[in-house]
Structure 1
């Protein structure tokens, strides 16, 4: 009977935690809806448009900070804040390199977070062959994509800065994707890989690899917000699941 009561308590606890997590994300969902409702891609850059674009990610950062406390500041919270800075910079084409730099810092902070002890319970079998294979696939994809982009980067007016900058960025986002695989935590893994897909879609358009796709910007932003949501939820859930894992080990 005690076991049944404990199991029922755990189910109620998980349900309550899931509801609390959902309500903490409501501001993100509302601000994302507002962004797409107000979005006018042909309008001139402005502080307001930068704020509307950055708001969902900043609200995600606030949700993770409220959930995890300060332990994620040099991790997912910091990455979300730098992502919001990058969002604002990308509103102005002349600030593209600054925006890319901000996102590069975000990927570095995500990588640091994925190496933290909060994700350790998921990475216990990280030496298995299929995990190593996924590492290899992500890293080869990153190198291959950069090689593919290289001739297009050379054609751009500021190629002397873009060629090394894009190389560093691709290396950092590939590292972030590989470390997300290491966690074996599904929201984190999916969020990181979707982030890579979003950036791939953006790069193909920004670097003139192909003509702007119909609804191309919508694809980029939908995948981008989804990726950030999954990474944030993964970090919020990692603390809860880590506690459950610790209790299981002590039992």
Structure 2
């Protein structure tokens, strides 16, 4: 098999994999559509609403697990599982801190995953370092802006440092996503930050309740998780392809 035939074969293989990946994600898309169809602003907190909200993330975890196997349990699959736990907790306002803790674990698992050998590593460029600084400024600036509103919360003595730790972890996750230079992974981390910032601004009464506030939060959230999951699958594919190229 010559070089041109090998290249054509690899293109067909990538195309077939993309189609198979899309098929495996259909349950996620269907459950996401069901969530937006059933959700209303005055939906009561219940086991059913928690299940409908977390189902897309659990189905996404199952899809990643089917592609990457057990190696992803302590990585993106684990992060998705803890995200689903966080989704359930946030259904009940009194469990907000528990939900934030679950999402903090998810961000930590994502961050550790982005450091593994499955993601290609690159030497840090000046452009990367510039983006690191931008994210640090955004994360630190957002927490500073949020701080006075956290102080007004009834449980501010716990909430204020907890939110600070959470902001640090999601910012760290975003920085390590930049390091991977995986487009889907990077965009997923940025959409996650946008989703959480939108939620925090509304939850801590920084802005007046928005008509489509929940829609903004959940669209960016589901999109973030989808991109991180796809990025993880693609990272494994690209690593395998690179290893194959080195042995030829």
Match of 1:124 in 2: 122
Residues 1:148 and 2:145 are matched in the alignment: yes
Cα distance in 2, alignment partners of residues 113 and 238 from structure 1: 11
Match of 2:91 in 1: 91
Match of 1:36 in 2: 36
| 1:58-109 Cα distance to aligned partner (Å, 9 max, x none) | 0000000110000011110000000000000000011101000000000000
CA drift of 1:177 comes to: 0.4
| 1:195-247 Cα distance to aligned partner (Å, 9 max, x none) | 00000000000000010112010000000000000000000111111111112
Cα distance in 2, alignment partners of residues 247 and 67 from structure 1: 18
Cα distance in 1, alignment partners of residues 24 and 16 from structure 2: 12
Alignment of 1:1-251 (within 5 A): 2-119=2-119, 121=120, 123-125=121-123, 127-251=124-248
Give the number of aligned pairs: 248
Task: Give the SS at the match of 2:118.
Answer: helix
Give the TM-score of the pair, scaled to structure 2. 0.98
Give ranges in structure 1 of 5+ residues lacking alignment.
none
Give ranges in structure 2 of 5+ residues lacking alignment.
none
Cα distance in 1, alignment partners of residues 163 and 104 from structure 2: 10
Cα distance in 1, alignment partners of residues 183 and 245 from structure 2: 20
Give the TM-score of the pair, scaled to structure 1. 0.97
CA drift of 1:27 comes to: 0.4
Runs of 4+ residues over 3 Å off in structure 1: none
Once superposed, what is the RMSD of the aligned Cα atoms? 0.9
Cα distance in 2, alignment partners of residues 207 and 249 from structure 1: 52
CA drift of 1:249 comes to: 2.6
Cα distance in 2, alignment partners of residues 131 and 40 from structure 1: 41
| 1:106-158 Cα distance to aligned partner (Å, 9 max, x none) | 00000010000000x2x323x11110111111111111111100000001111
Contact 2:122-2:179 within 8 A present in 1 as well: no
